[in-house]
Amino acid sequence: MQSIIRGLAYVVGDAIDTDQIIPAEHLVYSLKRPEERRMYGRFAMSGVPAVDQGLPFGNRPFTDPDRYESRYTLIVAGRNFGCGSSREHAPFALAEAGAQVVIAESYARIFYRNTIDGGFVIPFESNEKLNDQIRTGDDLELDTQMGQLTNHTIGQAWLLKPLGDVAAILKAGNVFEYARQAGLIPAR
């Protein structure tokens, strides 16, 4: 886990479900083959209705048309981020687009689990509602060890909730490495 993550904020609302994160019609692409997997970066967050894309402005797609990578590194969301289906394609798509962190007030549990077990993005929980204080494009810096988020654009900082016992899996890299460390599967 990288200790300092700095980049631009992408802000969305409450209950961003997995169909908004990656619409179901795109789930046909392979997550392995390079020419197909980049489609996940291209269509990440494309299911969010246009007016809600990149708050508070709207009409700011996460990934620009015909690009495969997003310019935004830190996603800031409200409650219940990742609700809906169990598709691991969702955190995969965010990571494929280049996102490293999500900071939400709360998560749906399968999405949360998938981000950690697959080692895609780091899911931090905020102590307060931040998606009305941070604006899309703000310059954010996250200290993942301290759990401190700084918004350089407005000169404000917040402490996020500790990661808790899932930190062990994040530290191991993914659930397989964690299981190897626990002796559940043989070391490579």
Partner 1 sequence: MGMTITEKILANHSGRTRVAPGESLWVDVDILMTHDVCGPPTVDIFKREFGEDTRVWDPDKLVILPDHYIFTQNHHANRNVQLLREFAAEQALPHYYDVGSPRYKGVCHVALAEEGFNRPGSILIGTDSHTCTSGAFGLFSTGVGNTDAALIMGTGKIWLRVPETMRFIFEGELPPYLMAKDLILAVIGDITCDGATYRAMEFDGKAVYALSMQERMTLTNMAIEAGGKNGVIAPDATTIDYVRARTDAAFESVFSDVDARYFSEHRYDVSTLEPVVAKPHRPDNRASVVEVAGTRLDRAYVGSCTGGKLEDFQAAADILKGQEVVIDTYIVPATTEISQSLHTSSIDGESLWSIFENAGCKMGQASCAACLGGPPDTFGRMQGSEVVISTTNRNFPGRMGSKQASVYLASPLTVAASALTGRITDPRGVLV
From candidates 2, 56, 58, 109, binder to partner 1 by CB under 8 A: 109
Q: In the complex with partner 1, which residue's Cβ is closer, 8 or 172?
A: 172
Q: Does residue 63 interact with partner 1 by CB under 8 A?
A: no
d(CA 28, CA 13): 27
Task: Considering only the C-alpha atoms of the chain, give the largest distance between any 2 of them, rounded to a whole number of Å.
Answer: 50
Q: In the complex with partner 1, which residue's Cβ is closer, 21 or 142?
A: 21
Q: Does residue 110 interact with partner 1 by CB under 8 A?
A: yes
Q: Does residue 35 interact with partner 1 by CB under 8 A?
A: no
Partners of 83 in beta bridges = 17
Q: Which two tokens stand for residue 3?
A: 């200790």
Q: Which two tokens stand for residue 114?
A: 């998938």
Strand 139-143: give its sheet, edge to edge: 122-125, 101-104, 72-76, 4-11, 139-143, 148-151, 156-159
Q: Does residue 28 interact with partner 1 by CB under 8 A?
A: yes
Residues 87-106 that bind partner 1 (CB under 8 A): 87-89, 91, 106
Q: Does residue 144 interact with partner 1 by CB under 8 A?
A: no
**Stretch of 42-50, 57-65, 124-132, 145-153 lying at the interface with partner 1 (CB under 8 A):** 42-50
Bridge-based pairing of strands 148-151 and 156-159 is: antiparallel
Classify residue 158 by its DSSP letter.
E
Residue 82 contacts residue 18 (beta carbons within 8 Å):
yes
Residue 51 contacts residue 115 (beta carbons within 8 Å):
no
Q: Does residue 139 interact with partner 1 by CB under 8 A?
A: no
Q: Does residue 29 interact with partner 1 by CB under 8 A?
A: yes
Q: Does residue 113 interact with partner 1 by CB under 8 A?
A: yes
Partners of 4 in beta bridges = 143
d(CA 94, CA 69): 9
Min dist CB 167 to partner 1, Å, is 13
Site residues (vs partner 1, CB under 8 A) = 15, 17, 19-20, 23-25, 27-32, 36, 47-49, 79-80, 83-89, 91, 106-110, 113-114, 117-118, 165, 174-176, 179, 182, 184-185
